[in-house]
Amino acid sequence: MVALTANNFLDPTATAVAIALTRGLARNESPTVGNFWVDMTRATLYILLPLSLVVALAFAALGVSQTLNTGLKANTPW
């Protein structure tokens, strides 16, 4: 769970860095570069949250099991 928590924090951070880099290259004449925390919040709310909802609904529609237990046994007709 620690690894998942670290990944959940670092993913929007990397996205915010990419957004800041793009904005910095586009606004090379601007006196300010912007706010990292605003970029991180926007990346989380506008990119990652909708994407996670779509992926979660797709997984639920496909019947992917939602468990932290070990593998499930599938009963097949073979």
pLDDT tens sequence across 3-35 = 877 777 777 778 777 887 888 788 777 777 677
Mean pLDDT of the chain, nearest integer: 80
Domain count, the chain: 1
Instruction: Please report whether residue 12 resides in a domain.
Output: yes
| Residue that the structure tokens 């046994």 belong to | 73
pLDDT of res. 57: 93
Domain that holds residue 36: 2-62
Terminal-residue alpha carbon distance, the chain: 36
The single-letter DSSP state of residue 42 is H
Tokens of 40: 């991180």
41/34 Cα distance (integer angstroms): 13
| Residue type at position 46 | Y
Please give the distance of CA 65 from its chain centroid, rounded to a whole number. 21
Asked if residue 75 is part of any domain, the answer here is: no
